[in-house]
Structure 1
Amino acid sequence: MNLKDYRYFKKLSELKNFSDTANFFGVSQPTITYSVKRLEETYGLSLIKRKSFANSLSLTYAGQQLLSHINRILLEDDLISDDMERIKREKIVMGWPPIITNYVIPKVFDRLRDADLLNSIIPVAKSSRELLTQLKNGEIDLSLLGSTILPQENHLDYQLIKEHHFKFIASAKRDVSKIKTVEDLFDEDFISLDEGSVHSRVLQHIIERYNVSPNTMFKTSDYHLMMNLVKADKGFSFVTETAIQGVPGIQTIDIDEIQLPPFYILFVYRHNMVGNETLAHLMHIFKNI
């Protein structure tokens, strides 16, 4: 197995051009040509189809199949270095999406403190979408995540911590007794979480499904700011119930005709991770919330 040939082939499949691929790696064009020829001889199949314009190409079915395996092989190769670095640094880089973290960490704080693990965690505060990408790429080791679907990636395992629901919210001061329909709800001013959050994607799905359009007067990535504005009766919002657990000054608005997906609170990790007692203890705590 020649990883260099695999890397050449992967980049060639992306750029679809021998010259551009050679330039990317700083090698001659024949180097890429001979690399593809070696792969074709190894597997006894044609892997690319040349096109007549601009030195372009496409993959054969065999090439597409090979590429799917190459992607996994190269990912694992990259993860080797990441895991060796993790073991050397003796600390665990963990994804902490803000809303999920504020819900989960108080539940495990005492156990983390008593096990002297608080200083073993390097927290990374980003959106669940960004953290999932970083986890798959080996940039972080473990992560709390919030998602409307359960992870499908073969190299990831997860523990379901809690299943919550999405809620439309308003200030407890607001009289919402006359809001009975989707149209009534979306006639109100909205303060929304921005496009980086799962809330924005779910809200967009509702907008498309029910053919409504909110009057979004303000967007923010700071859910604390959003909550404070809602409590001050500056507008309605849409958020998972995870964010409003035990928060005073907020009421939920339930519209029976609106069907909403579940919101899964997850602890996610790569299934082939091997570590010391610190990692094992940390994973045990989060897997048994």
Structure 2
Amino acid sequence: MNTRDLSYFRILVEKRNYTEVAEMFSVSQPTITQAVKRLEKEFNSKLVHVDRVHQKTEITRSGYLLYEKSKVIQENLDLARKEIKAADSQKIKFGLPPIIGTLYFPQVVQKLAQASLFQRLNISESGSSELLEELDNGNVDIAVIATIKPIENPKYQVEYLGSRPFSVIVSAKNPLAQSTEPIDFRKLMKEKFVRLTDKYVHSQMLEDYCNYYEFEPEIAYDTPDISWFKSLIRANVGIGILVADEVSPYDQDLVRLDIANPLPESFNISVVHRKSYILKPDEQKLVDILKQMNIKNTKGGYY
């Protein structure tokens, strides 16, 4: 089976027009027609029906089945090209979320430098949600990821490191800052929230809490920047949810409140790579060193 034929067919399903597909690939229309015929012969099934009376191109059920599978095939081919192209590269495509990079990654930087690995890291710094997408498309090969529940997706090889709790963060100016007890999340219904964008797991955590207690949070501001997030809360623009370790006694005018009725979700940290990806020896060494990060006993804030 010719992968080019699949590419033609996939676009034909989306465009429903042989002429447009031919122009898109700079080939003749008969080239597209012959590609479809080869696929129909390969799968012994009618994939496309051309209604010449009404000038319509209709896709059969078999055609739609092949279309869905062809998308997966194309994704895997694109991924293979990236992996093979990088096979001899000395660089390691590594994903690291800002919070993990600040709080936990420094524990192993010296060991990575001693192993001559730190200088070879091509680091993509983004939120965990985006880094999982980068793992899937091959822009990152290894990442340290935070999720609100342990990763159980069979397409990933996962080394679980530990978990940390989430806390409510408020300005010292906010009356909630005077609380000496863990805060009942239901009492936050009338508060305004500063929210990290959905490239971080924190936005999902806030959504889960609000859904569980059946209220719609009033969002004062969305931001992808941790520093700006904390600055807005410090200015009492709103309150927020953040992994507990990210707020320390050195964060002036910020108060961290434990949650009295926490959900069974936390800031779960794992080293992740695609199960289909064969690690090079130096990449395996990187994983082995990353596994030495001590997450469960990391002290932060008021712990």
Which TM-score band applies after superposition, normalised by the shorter structure? 0.7 to 0.9
Match status 1:200 vs 2:225: no
The SS at the match of 2:104 is helix
Match status 1:281 vs 2:285: yes
CA distance in 2, matches of 1:271, 1:156: 5
1:73 offset after TM fit, Å?
2.9
Q: Which residue does 1:259 correspond to in 2? A: 263
> Deviation string for 1:182-237 (max 9, x for gaps)?
45213223222134433223323443443423343333211123234435655311
CA distance in 1, matches of 2:6, 2:134: 23
List aligned pairs for 1:115-194, cutoff 5 A. 115-149=115-149, 151=151, 155-171=155-171, 174-176=177-179, 181-194=184-197
Structure 2, gaps ≥5 residues long: 294-303
The SS at the match of 1:116 is coil
RMSD of equivalent CA atoms:
3.1
CA distance in 2, matches of 1:81, 1:55: 36
On the 8 A contact 1:99/1:242 being kept in 2, the answer is: no
Q: Which residue does 2:58 correspond to in 1? A: 57
The SS at the match of 2:285 is helix
> Deviation string for 1:25-84 (max 9, x for gaps)?
222333222212111111112234557866343341x33443444333323322232123
Residue 188 to residue 253, structure 1, CA distance change in 2 (3 Å) = farther
Q: Which residue does 1:28 correspond to in 2? A: 28
The amino acid that maps onto 1:272 is S
CA distance in 2, matches of 1:30, 1:152: 47
Q: Which residue does 1:15 correspond to in 2? A: 15
Q: Which residue does 2:78 correspond to in 1? A: 78
Residue 18 to residue 209, structure 1, CA distance change in 2 (3 Å) = farther
On the 8 A contact 2:150/2:268 being kept in 1, the answer is: yes
The SS at the match of 1:87 is coil
On the 8 A contact 1:87/1:275 being kept in 2, the answer is: no
- More displaced, 218-227 or 271-280? 271-280
> Deviation string for 1:78-107 (max 9, x for gaps)?
223212332333111211111122233123
On the 8 A contact 1:230/1:250 being kept in 2, the answer is: no
On the 8 A contact 1:159/1:287 being kept in 2, the answer is: yes
Structure 1, gaps ≥5 residues long: none
CA distance in 1, matches of 2:250, 2:280: 38
1:156 offset after TM fit, Å?
2.9
Residue 275 to residue 251, structure 1, CA distance change in 2 (3 Å) = closer
1:134 offset after TM fit, Å?
1.9
Q: Which residue does 1:227 correspond to in 2? A: 230
The SS at the match of 1:94 is strand
Residue 99 to residue 216, structure 1, CA distance change in 2 (3 Å) = same
Q: Which residue does 2:276 correspond to in 1? A: 272
Q: Which residue does 1:93 correspond to in 2? A: 93
On the 8 A contact 1:13/1:59 being kept in 2, the answer is: no
The SS at the match of 1:216 is strand
- Count of residue pairs brought into register by the alignment: 287
1:154 offset after TM fit, Å?
5.0
> Deviation string for 1:102-131 (max 9, x for gaps)?
233123223212212110101111222222
